[in-house]
Structure 1
């Protein structure tokens, strides 16, 4: 049951049901995002995910009337997932992220904007730091607006 949970409490709940390596990886990802995400994003809980979003007070023009989610962290049945919507809104950001993994010699298990990992080594800290930490709220909003228009988003 996640109703009313804080993000930290949700992470504790999710980790309690995971194998030790997956729990360690989930906690490491949570700590990393919290450490590098720029000011202006709001940490919260949405369903069974910890999210970092643009508050509605800052940007109310979302397609679903919900805060604009920039990053989300979840534990699924078979893996942990770090959702990075910017990567599917910006071809440049996506290419840089994939290149950082390749340059680090790490195997990237990724969908369009969702990085799957089961161990701490499954996430490349430098790539995540650049993608998350290098995206100020205004840049994320600009990328979102460009994606909604069908235009290539500005570099983030």
Structure 2
């Protein structure tokens, strides 16, 4: 479900009531923990946390006019999606996260390549998600991205 919202605030305002609080809390978790240099924006109709062109002029290889994406957050039809590109491209980070998950949540991890799906908003491990956000700096993300894309 892509939103036409132009700002994160507009995106949240357009959400169903039952999703506003949890998306706002996840957004705050990201903003409170994301390393310096990433920028919040609307990206692909979702909340996006990107490497701006001022830091990485090449942009995203699929569309260089777009900044390099890192994290996206979206209210989907049947879940809340937390998309973390670092998990997809860094096996050590993925291993860390999958090993930490059961220490924080009793439910099974529902995850695709980069998407962590939260079907029950009451079972979101905000502390773990905040820690995940801290695990990769802008420079580390650019280096990881380039090592995957340029190989």
| TM tier, smaller | 0.7 to 0.9
Give, in whole Å, the separation in 2 of the partners of 1:141 and 1:72. Answer: 16
The structure-2 alpha-carbon separation of the partners of 1:49 and 1:78, relative to structure 1 and needing over 3 Å to count, comes to same
Give, in whole Å, the separation in 2 of the partners of 1:134 and 1:45. Answer: 22
Structure 1 segments unaligned to the other structure (5+ residues): 151-156
Q: Over aligned residues, Cα RMSD in angstroms?
A: 1.8
Is the 1:2–1:47 contact (alpha carbons within 8 Å) kept by the matching residues of 2?
no
For residues 68-111 of structure 1, what are the alpha-carbon distances to aligned partners after superposition, in whole Å with 9 as ceiling and x for unaligned? 11110111111110100100100000111111112224322111
Determine whether 1:87 maps to 2:84. no
Q: What TM-score results when the alignment is normalised by the length of structure 1? A: 0.84
The answer for the alignment partner of 1:100 in structure 2 is 100
- Runs of 4+ in structure 1 deviating by more than 4 angstroms, as ranges, are none
Give, in whole Å, the separation in 2 of the partners of 1:116 and 1:135. Answer: 21
The answer for the alignment partner of 1:148 in structure 2 is 149
Determine whether 1:57 maps to 2:54. yes
Q: What TM-score results when the alignment is normalised by the length of structure 2? A: 0.86
SS where residue 127 of structure 1 aligns? Answer: helix
For residues 42-85 of structure 1, what are the alpha-carbon distances to aligned partners after superposition, in whole Å with 9 as ceiling and x for unaligned? 11112420101000121122312010111101111111101001
Is the 1:33–1:129 contact (alpha carbons within 8 Å) kept by the matching residues of 2?
yes
Counting only pairs closer than 5 Å after superposition, residues 7-86 of structure 1 correspond to structure 2 as 7-14=8-15, 17-18=16-17, 20=18, 22-61=19-58, 62-63=60-61, 64-65=63-64, 66-86=66-86
Structure 2 segments unaligned to the other structure (5+ residues): none
Is the 1:28–1:120 contact (alpha carbons within 8 Å) kept by the matching residues of 2?
no
- How many residues matched? 145
Give, in whole Å, the separation in 1 of the partners of 2:78 and 2:127. Answer: 24
Give, in whole Å, the separation in 2 of the partners of 1:81 and 1:95. Answer: 19
Q: Measure how far apart 1:35 and its partner are.
A: 1.0
Counting only pairs closer than 5 Å after superposition, residues 96-135 of structure 1 correspond to structure 2 as 96-107=96-107, 108-135=109-136
